[in-house]
Amino acid sequence: MPGLFFGDWWGQLNLLQQSLWLLSVSSSLLLLILIVMSLLDPDTEAEANARLAKVFNARTILTFLTFFAWTGLGVSYYWAAPVAALGTGLIAGLLAAVFAKGITLMLLRLAPRGGAPRHPERLMATTGRVLAVVPSHRNGFGKVHLNVKGAPYELEAMTAGFELKPGASVRVVGVIEEGRVLVVEPLEDEGYPHEEHGLPR
């Protein structure tokens, strides 16, 4: 019986409506899977960071197709003209894709980056705050948060002075491991030792 009912319902749809139903359901499922995967594995968003310049990515395309199909499908039940359904769906899809792209870019810019920036030398003399304890006398690594050109970063750090507690203000005086590790000093400390690496102030 359910199969018979589905067959009758499906047979009453025109070709445009059948196509939009298939597109809307499949694109919605794929978009849902992509969102769930990104929530379960946040690193996928960080990996996508290097591809931000691309206008077309999986999420943008699926967002466009989902809103295009559902909007076009809804309009097709009120206006018989396919042009009206496709045109309205196209506008809705483009608006949704642009909005989704803007939200994604904004969130990624606000999210702290764990990797080194493209130009590690720009970290020199920048200031930030300690997130995790930085052991004294280069006896281990802590973590600091700082902003570079408006972009937040969380990086490992060491210090040649005394232990730095979370919340302490620090200044970057050295960059090693291609920018993955920083050498920092307390912001108020002018007597920081630099003799080992000859680091500039």
Rounded Cα distance between 132 and 168, Å, is 10
Does any domain span residue 99?
Answer: yes
Structure tokens that stand for 197 in this block: 């690496």
| Judgement on whether residues 84 and 139 belong to the same structural domain of the protein | no
Burial of 60 (0-12, 13-18, 19+ CB in 10 A): middle
Domain of 80 in residue numbering reads as 2-110
| Judgement on whether residues 91 and 142 belong to the same structural domain of the protein | no
- Please tell me the predicted confidence (pLDDT) of residue 30: 95
**Model pLDDT for residues 76-105, shown as the tens digit of each residue:** 998 878 999 999 999 999 999 999 888 877
Does any domain span residue 200?
Answer: no
Does any domain span residue 194?
Answer: no
Residue 120 contacts residue 175 (beta carbons within 8 Å): yes
pLDDT tens string, the chain, 201 residues long: the values are 555 667 788 888 899 999 999 999 999 999 999 888 877 754 444 444 444 444 457 888 999 999 999 999 999 998 878 999 999 999 999 999 999 888 877 766 655 555 556 667 777 888 899 999 999 988 989 999 887 776 777 888 999 999 999 999 999 998 887 767 889 999 875 444 443 333 333
